[in-house]
């Protein structure tokens, strides 16, 4: 068993040992060992030239990393929170995502931008946002949001080796979770979903920490005679629509769960894809579970109301299962 935090640490450590072009840059990644201690022990092993502490200048050090990637290095940019990534959106969207296209393929940007996303506990509206749909909207960016330590390690290693810019979002509340992690050097292909739990009555698509809630809901509903299939996209861009569609063809029903806001979201994209490719297999309308359309409140009771929980997922599944026989 290994924690999500340690799985990320191990992935980066192995890749930095494998390739001396890989380096880590960000706020407090060195001597403080990362805001969430993901880079624990790095500066001692790799030194301050490969583990670079920066000022509080997201646009500055993200731009520096883009230049380093264009010159042949493989930077890993750690954002203290993806909310701060907003400050670097010009660099990410107008430079990292477009340089390969605008140079006619002469230049590439092999870099990873990673760090915590979504809400934790009472971090306030400006530090609790789920912004993955922003990045997934942009051609030229790959977006990964793993839920388990095993997937986090394998996908981060793939992201570091990828020749394109990759957005790697780690839900803050996942860092302390534990799970089995395969021994040795392994990677997980970017763009491949996984069925985390097989079932026959309804397909539930959930990613990041919402996946853990979906699995809890599946256990609760088993006792009520509902057999949930749970699909984890793992990668949001490119999205493995085929695996999701195959699940829906089997169950005939779909619930999509995400923490972010519902308007123009990942859940909307997944639902649209299934309606386009598997409409005739649906026995009931797709049900979506998402965060409330409000800034995330600071006070804990209101924060809990704004974010999906297991009970909302259970109710959504019951709604889907009891829905109309045909659309």
pTM (2 d.p.): 0.96
User: Contact 221/255 with Cβ under 8 angstroms?
Assistant: no
Tell whether 188 is covered by a domain: no
Question: Which positions of the chain have pLDDT values less than 70?
Answer: 324-327
90 and 7 together in one domain: yes
| Alpha carbon of residue 268 to chain centroid | 16
CATH code, 213: 3.40.50.920
15 and 81 together in one domain: yes
pLDDT score recorded for residue 326: 52
Cα separations in angstroms, 66 against 85, 97, 100: 14, 10, 12
pLDDT score recorded for residue 324: 53
CATH code, 147: 3.40.50.970
The tokens describing 256, both together, are: 């999509």
Could you tell me where the DSSP H helices lie in 143-289?
149-161, 209-222, 241-251, 266-278
Q: pLDDT tens across 213-249, in order? A: 999 999 999 999 999 999 999 999 999 999 999 999 9
pLDDT score recorded for residue 325: 52
Q: Which residue numbers are catalytic?
A: 58, 127
242 and 149 together in one domain: no
170 and 27 together in one domain: yes
213 and 163 together in one domain: no
**Domain final residue, candidates 121, 147, 179:** 179
Q: How far apart are CA 196 and CA 231, in angstroms?
A: 6
The tokens describing 261, both together, are: 């806001």
pLDDT score recorded for residue 184: 86
Domain that holds residue 240: 194-321
281 and 149 together in one domain: no
**Domain final residue, candidates 179, 213, 243:** 179
């Amino acid at each position: 068993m290994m924690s999500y935090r340690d799985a990320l640490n191990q992935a980066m450590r192995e890749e930095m040992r494998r390739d001396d072009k890989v380096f880590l840059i960000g706020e407090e990644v060195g001597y403080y060992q990362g805001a969430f201690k993901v880079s624990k022990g790095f500066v001692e092993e790799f030194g301050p030239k490969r583990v670079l502490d920066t000022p509080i200048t997201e646009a500055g050090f993200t731009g520096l990393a883009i230049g380093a990637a264009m010159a042949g290095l493989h930077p890993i940019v750690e954002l203290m929170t993806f909310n701060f990534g907003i400050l670097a959106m010009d660099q990410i969207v107008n430079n990292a995502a477009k340089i390969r296209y605008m140079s006619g393929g002469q230049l590439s940007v092999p870099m990873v931008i990673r760090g915590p996303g979504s809400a934790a506990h009472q971090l306030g509206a400006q530090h609790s946002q789920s912004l993955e749909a922003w990045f997934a909207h942009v051609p030229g960016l790959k977006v990964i949001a793993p839920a388990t330590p095993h997937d986090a390690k394998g996908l981060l290693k793939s992201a570091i080796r990828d020749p394109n810019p990759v957005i790697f979002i780690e839900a803050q509340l996942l860092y302390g979770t534990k799970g089995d992690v395969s021994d040795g050097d392994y990677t997980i292909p970017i763009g491949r979903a996984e069925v985390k739990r097989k079932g026959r009555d309804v397909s539930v698509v959930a990613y990041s920490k919402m996946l853990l809630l979906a699995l809890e809901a599946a256990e609760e509903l088993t006792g009520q005679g509902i057999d949930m299939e749970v699909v984890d996209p793992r990668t949001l861009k490119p999205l493995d629509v085929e695996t999701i569609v195959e699940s829906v063809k089997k169950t005939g029903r779909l619930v999509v769960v995400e923490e972010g806001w519902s308007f123009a979201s990942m859940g909307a994209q997944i639902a649209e894809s299934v309606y386009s490719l598997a409409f005739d297999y649906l026995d009931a309308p797709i049900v979506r579970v998402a965060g409330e359309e409000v800034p995330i409140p600071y006070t804990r009771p209101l924060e809990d109301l704004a974010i999906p929980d297991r009970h909302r997922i259970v109710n959504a599944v019951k709604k889907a299962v009891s829905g109309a026989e045909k659309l």
